[in-house]
A and B are shown apart, each in its own frame.
Chain A
Amino acid sequence: MQTRPYFLTLLFLLLAIALSVAVGSVFIPPADLWRVLTGRPPQEVTQAAAILLDLRLPRTALLLLTGAALGGSGAAYQGLFRNPLADPYLIGVASGAGLGAVAAMSLGWPYTTLGLLAVPLAAFLCALLTVALVYSLARLGRTVPTTNLILAGVAFSSFATALTSFLMLRSQDEVRRALAWLLGGGSVAGWGAVLAMLPYVAAGLAGLLLSGHTLNLLQFGDDQAAQMGLPVTRAKTLVLVAASLATAAAVAFSGIIGFLGLIVPHLMRLWFGADHRRLLPLSVLGGAGFLLVADVLARIVLAPQELPVGIVTALVGAPFFLWVLRRAKGQGIW
């Protein structure tokens, strides 16, 4: 097994974590950081310790999980649909999950323990429903043409987004929170959110990390995959459920963060090859690192004001997306 890709990506992630913890409206010197983390905070750094433990670390952890989930599920969707343009955002899964989450919020389920469980669950169910709906709408006989899939996804996405706005306007009190949430960011961070998110992301990513071989086979089409011995329907369902679980958890806790799920797998494929057994874990690590860096940028560009991280990922992501679109015409990276 080649270890260099893992080493590089892991190094990037560790640097991103360090940046994410150190940078903010209050700069915490690395030395203090170390002392706090090793549990020996001297008197003068108790304020730093409070910032670190109660605000920064949970935020970092939440974004890490979110980025990992989006990177991994983006790679899975691209592999599953055999389409370089597929990502949770484009085929409507994220918008569906957002609709579910806002619906749950507008019913007044707060971020109590029950709310922490209900919001991601609603997001997950809506994400699955969206996939099923978009997939069946795009289907022509036995095939699911890519253009149909994306058109159906974009159309449903607009519909779900409109419905989401409608729900948010109806439930006045929740609007601010929901809006801030929807733009993406660690605004609901806190250890409670991290713990509530963890099982969803862990289960989703575990399913995805086990699916590398399946996705490799599916690159040759359903027929060939079956002829090589893959139980196609069962395998595809597993990937779809796992990816939607991870996406839904990301959306439920961090809002809509576009383009990350598109970019990161492309970069990993470009640099480290198309083998999904490698591509999936690398996209998970890379996605986490990418989101943390985007969040650091979001915090410092207009400091002391914070940009929603979704804006930064889209600002970087949209030009990249256009570039991929151009390259996808040739043989390129796909």
Chain B
Amino acid sequence: MLKIVNLSVSYGPRRVLKDVSLDVGSGEVLALIGPNGAGKSTLVRAASGVVPVEAGSVRTNGDDLLRLPAMERARRLAVVPQAVALPPAFSVWETVLLGRTPYLNFLGQVSARDEELARSALARVDALDLAGRRVGELSGGEQQRVLLARALAQATPILLLDEPTASLDLHYQVSFLETLRSLARSGQLAVLIALHDLNLAARFADRLALLVDGNVQAAGTPHQVLTPELISQAYHLPVSVVPHPLADAPLVLPD
């Protein structure tokens, strides 16, 4: 569904992504893990067309997303950013309706169908009751849900998320990722999510890709990627990997 092929990005002389190739299938959640500065955010931004790409392509159904105009791209791929510095005075409803932009004229006039889709997007993230609130009044977890709803309102087959759980507490992290996974299954979405927390990634993603210094060091099931050797090397930190006591997922613990 989503095919990132040999993507390379440089900031000035520094190469931040080097020939990155990844596949995400429909209904699948691929978690992008790796230390700070490995290029996770850059990958999300490059794949969504907001940083210039040196080489490579981002393909879906034969289209190269990077060659499409912004509006066409936004009908195929939506991004959930971290909920920081959101304009506080917008209402949740106005915010989610903005997700309909790729289907609107430049005046942004919405139809009944747009409103219907925005409402259903809010319902799918369990945030319908927030519709009338101002974004600035919401908790971090609620804001993150609103941004997910906005991306769902874009009605795209591909969803990219940039560390959406970074500022959430454990309860919100788990419920956000659970929601995301069930949305991926039910809507047959291809989901690529940059995540900091290795254990949450192992718990909720179908596959992991370990990014180190702009290279994909390893990709595969959580058991294949979260090995003591790979993780110790990537994070420069000795770690042990033990099985989750209740679920079929590895747990990474620093030694």
| A residues whose Cβ falls under 8 Å from a Cβ of B | 82, 210, 212-214, 216-217, 219-224, 226-232, 269, 273-275, 277, 331, 333-334
Contacts and interface: CB of A to CB of B under 8 A. Distances in A.
A229 B86 contact: no
A277 B87 contact: no
Closest 8 CB pairs of A and B: A213-B108, A229-B74, A274-B89, A229-B102, A219-B87, A229-B71, A227-B79, A228-B101
B213 to A, nearest CB: 21
Contacts of A229: 70-71, 73-75, 101-102, 154
17 contacts: A212-B107, A216-B108, A219-B87, A220-B98, A222-B50, A223-B45, A223-B48, A227-B48, A228-B102, A229-B71, A229-B74, A229-B75, A232-B70, A273-B89, A275-B90, A331-B136, A334-B88
B110 to A, nearest CB: 10
B35 interface: no
B136 A228 contact: no
Nearest to B162: A223
A333 B89 CA distance: 7
Contacts of A269: 89
A219 B87 CA distance: 6
Q: Which of A224, A227, A269, A334 has the most CB of B within 10 A?
A: A227
A272 to B, nearest CB: 11
Contacts of B81: 223-224, 227
Contacts of B150: 228
- Secondary structure call for the B interface: loop
Contacts of A231: 69-71
Given A226-B70, A228-B154, A229-B73, A219 B90 contact: yes
Nearest to A333: B89
Interface residues of B, number: 33
A331 B88 contact: yes
B106 A213 contact: yes
B131 to A, nearest CB: 15
Contacts of B104: 213
A228 B99 contact: yes
A273 B136 CA distance: 13
Contact of A213 (B70, B101, B102, B154): B101
Given A229-B74, A275-B90, 4 more contacts: A210-B107, A269-B89, A273-B89, A273-B91
A117 B78 CA distance: 47
Nearest to A275: B94
Contacts of A220: 86-87, 98
Contacts of B247: none
Nearest to A79: B87
Nearest to A209: B107
A227 B74 contact: yes
Contacts of A213: 101, 104, 106-108
Contacts of A219: 87, 90
Nearest to A277: B108
A229 B106 CA distance: 10
B85 interface: yes
Contacts of B140: none
Contacts of A226: 48-50, 70
A221 B108 contact: no
B6 to A, nearest CB: 22
Contact of B70 (A82, A214, A230, A274): A230
Nearest to B150: A228
Interface string B47-70: 011100000000000000000011
B106 A210 contact: yes
A221 B94 CA distance: 16
Contacts of B91: 273
A221 B102 CA distance: 17
